[in-house]
Copies of this chain bind each other. A is one copy, B any other.
Amino acid sequence: MVVTTRTLRTRARILDAALDLFEHQGYDATTVNQIAVAAGITPMTFFRHFPTKDAVLVTDPYDPLIADAVGAQPADLPPLERTRLGLLAALGDITPTEDTTARRRVALVAQSPSLRAAVSVGTDATQQAIADRLVADGADPLDAAIAAAACLAATTTALLAWGSAPSGVTLTDLVRRALAQLAPAGATP
Contacts and interface: CB of A to CB of B under 8 A. Distances in A.
Interface residues of A, number: 33
Contacts of A156: 149
A116 B30 CA distance: 25
A154 B150 contact: yes
Main secondary structure of the interface of A (DSSP, over half): helix
Given A113-B124, A118-B117, A174-B142, A150 B147 contact: no
A78 B156 CA distance: 20
A87 interface: no
A153 interface: yes
A185 interface: yes
A101 interface: no
Contacts of A109: none
A181 B121 contact: no
B153 A149 contact: yes
A61 interface: no
Contacts of A114: 121
Contact of A142 (B78, B146, B151, B161): B161
Contacts of A132: none
A129 interface: no
